[in-house]
DNA sequence: CGGTATCCTGTCCGATACTG
DNA sequence: CAGTATCGGACAGGATACCG
């Protein structure tokens, strides 16, 4: 029997034509996997994220963090009421389900890279 | 001892600040993982790729295929000299090293998706 | 300290028409 | 059959300055 239908996948009200494009919709973009990579084993403050990702702008980092939070992958916790603020980001349980994916992505990048040390 | 240097990763003459961003630079974008996903187990003709990816435009499919070919992940083989042409795309050995990554991405997408069948 | 606001740029990608 | 040419829109992301 011929199947003239096509299956659409849905996550957070967005439609995707393929399971891989769904995942890429969530962790795609230039910086999201980098953030998740650094949060794999430890929580980090905003300023610590900036240190390990020196080439991202504040605006972009802020937007990407907000997007990851909206998708339920990370949590933002504020530890002070008055400035100086202490804000910490960490993976949620749902975010932790992405660790195998992030590891696979990181490992492949490691293996194929020629690395160069810059001052 | 303090390390004031930062490591830059290089692949195909492009620089990346992190092993994950390198991989995303290669398989990022809206369609590349979808193409690799469909080529995992079998080679496909151009028209067959169009059939399994009905929502991508010809232009974009063509560009993404060329990009994947330039990065050495797929090969393009022409089987005829006169029209109608027969062109087949398949993973290279190097492209096959990405299969675990594509699988991890696809599996996660599968697990979190709610799927809907559309006419 | 941990962000926003504003502005601007590049690039990705879709629509459509045409070709070897 | 398997693409390319041309055009244009949307949006991701950078630069910089400022705010609670």
The nucleotide minimizing the C1' distance to residue A80's CA is: C1
Between the CA of B55 and the C1' of D6, what is the distance in angstroms? Answer: 21
Residue A1 has pLDDT above 50, yes or no: no
**A58 is near strand C: CB distance < 7 Å:** yes
Backbone angles phi, psi at A2, to 5 degrees: -75, 140
State percent of chain B over pLDDT 70. 94
**A34 is near strand D: CB distance < 7 Å:** no
Q: Give the pLDDT of residue A54.
A: 94
Residues 43-82 of B with CB under 7 A from strand C: 55-60, 64
Residue A55 has pLDDT above 90, yes or no: yes
Average pLDDT on A86-97 reads: 98
CB-CB neighbors (< 8 A) of A55 in chain B:
17
Q: Give the pLDDT of residue A82.
A: 78
Taking C1' of C12 and every protein CA, the nearest residue is B29
Q: Give the pLDDT of residue B6.
A: 73
All residue ranges of chain B with pLDDT < 70 are 1-5, 118-119
Q: For chain A, give the mean pLDDT.
A: 92
In CATH, the number for domain B30-118 is 1.10.10.10
State percent of chain A over pLDDT 70. 94
**Are the beta carbons of B20 and A115 separated by less than 8 Å?**
no
Q: Give the pLDDT of residue A114.
A: 80
CB-CB neighbors (< 8 A) of B22 in chain A:
109, 112-113
pLDDT confidence bin for A5, thresholds 50/70/90: low
Contact B102, B50 (CB under 8 A): no
Residue A37 has pLDDT above 50, yes or no: yes
End-to-end Cα separation, chain B, in angstroms = 63
CB under 8 Å to B7, separation ≥6 — which residues? A115, A116, A117, A118
Contact B116, A12 (CB under 8 A): no
Q: Give the pLDDT of residue B3.
A: 53
Between the CA of A23 and the C1' of C8, what is the distance in angstroms? Answer: 30
User: pTM for the full model?
Assistant: 0.93
Q: Give the pLDDT of residue A117.
A: 75
Q: Give the pLDDT of residue B45.
A: 97
Helix (H, G, I), strand (E, B) or coil at A27: helix
**pLDDT tens per residue, range B18-47:** 999 999 999 999 999 999 999 999 999 999
Distances (CA, A) of B28 to A105, B31, B85: 11, 8, 29
């Amino acid at each position: 029997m011929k199947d003239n239908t096509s299956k659409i996948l849905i996550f957070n009200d967005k439609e995707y034509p393929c399971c891989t494009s769904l995942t890429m919709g969530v962790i795609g973009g230039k910086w999201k996997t980098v953030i998740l990579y650094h949060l794999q084993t430890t929580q980090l403050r905003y300023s610590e994220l900036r240190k390990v990702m020196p080439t991202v702008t504040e605006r972009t980092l802020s937007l990407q963090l907000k997007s990851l939070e909206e998708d339920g992958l990370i949590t933002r916790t504020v530890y002070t009421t008055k400035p100086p603020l202490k804000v910490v980001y960490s993976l949620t349980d749902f975010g932790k389900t992405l660790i195998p994916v992030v590891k696979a992505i990181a490992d492949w990048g490691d293996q194929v890279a020629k690395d160069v040390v810059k001052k």
